[in-house]
Amino acid sequence: DAKAGEIYTVPISHGEGRFIASPQQVLEFNKTGQIATQYVDFDGIASMDSRFNPNQSAAAIEGIYSPDGRVFGKMAHSERCGTGISKNIPGQLEMPIFTSGVKYFK
């Protein structure tokens, strides 16, 4: 299962597009627990540094839940994992969000 606080190395390929929200919206998303994933630095701190947040998403938001928690929208490609893929890249490459989602709704 994917757990809060874990850091994953996830492939990206978004040449354009980013999450945009006003500071007030970000506060509301934070208050309601909708911010699911963020671009973080090596220490796990949300970052606006382009090395970690390449598209400059607001509040370093990479993924967000709908208000009812049933929809998860995200930028990076967690599905791009498997044997021999990204083998020269260090870090936890498999983000088990789909497994976690299925378990949650069972």
Give pLDDT tens digits along the chain (106 positions).
777 788 777 777 766 778 999 999 999 999 999 999 999 999 999 999 999 998 899 999 999 999 998 888 888 766 766 666 665 565 666 766 777 767 777 7
Give the count of domains, the chain.
1
Q: Is 86 among the domain residues?
A: yes
- Rounded to 5 degrees, φ, ψ at 102 are -60, -45
Q: Is 3 among the domain residues?
A: no
For 36, the domain range is 23-105
Strands 61-65 and 72-74: antiparallel
Q: Is the dihedral of CA 97, 99, 102, 106 positive or negative?
A: negative
